[in-house]
Chain A
Amino acid sequence: AQSVTQPDIHITVSEGASLELRCNYSYGATPYLFWYVQSPGQGLQLLLKYFSGDTLVQGIKGFEAEFKRSQSSFNLRKPSVHWSDAAEYFCAVGLTGGGNKLTFGTGTQLKVEL
């Protein structure tokens, strides 16, 4: 079965600093990969997705992620964090040919210091 690991439970960055959130997956083939963001008490909003092709994908709100097959990673990055980026971030993996059933990581809580 596939699995997703987000090794950082909490991350604190200063506003204006760069950000990288880590995500590693375990799956035999190339999965579909997603990053979602959740504000407190809200549902999840899609930031970006990777299906195939260019391994650097751009998303909303200035986020990007890079798929590295050799490292089984799909890390999320932002060059300059804004205070409104404080939220919880989830990495998810879907099976090729498996419809869109997803497996989620445990999430990374981002705090932004002003």
Chain B
Amino acid sequence: DGGITQSPKYLFRKEGQNVTLSCEQNLNHDAMYWYRQDPGQGLRLIYYSQIVNDFQKGDIAEGYSVSREKKESFPLTVTSAQKNPTAFYLCASGQGEQPQHFGDGTRLSIL
């Protein structure tokens, strides 16, 4: 079945540590997105990529980095510069102006 796979489901970060969240899609979509979800704030866009080897900052990119070396993969790194990383992270993919498809999310917490 086609879909989006996010891993791990739960992740813990120590102070000063970078962590990477994985997102893989087999829907052959050109565009991929990373969102951060906090209670009462909806989804906020971190980074997005419309094509391989290109990506743009979203509304809250500070403290995060991404890469898009393959069409099917869009990993997100939460760096030590992100002082409040505890949140639920959602990856999505899309094609043209069709609805985005979402993964099941990764919950990141601080140790």
Contacts and interface: CB of A to CB of B under 8 A. Distances in A.
A41 B88 CA distance: 8
Contacts of B95: 100
Nearest to B88: A41
Given A41-B105, A43-B102, A44-B90, A99 B42 contact: no
A99 B97 contact: yes
Interface string B87-107: 010101011111111111101
Contacts of A9: 40
Contacts, number: 60
Nearest to A103: B45
A100 B31 contact: yes
Nearest to B9: A41
Interface string B1-18: 000101000000000000
B90 A94 contact: no
Interface string A72-114: 0000000000000000001000101011111011110000000
A65 B33 CA distance: 26
Question: Do most interface residues of chain A lie in helix, strand or loop, or is the interface mixed?
Answer: loop
Interface string A28-42: 000010101000011
Interface residues of B, number: 29
Which one of B35, B96, B98, B107 has the greatest number of beta carbons of chain A within 10 Å?
B98
Interface of A: 9, 32, 34, 36, 41-46, 49, 51, 90, 94, 96, 98-102, 104-107
26 contacts: A9-B40, A32-B97, A36-B102, A41-B104, A41-B105, A42-B105, A43-B4, A43-B6, A43-B90, A43-B105, A51-B97, A90-B43, A94-B97, A98-B97, A100-B94, A100-B95, A100-B98, A100-B100, A101-B33, A101-B48, A104-B44, A106-B40, A106-B41, A106-B42, A107-B40, A107-B42
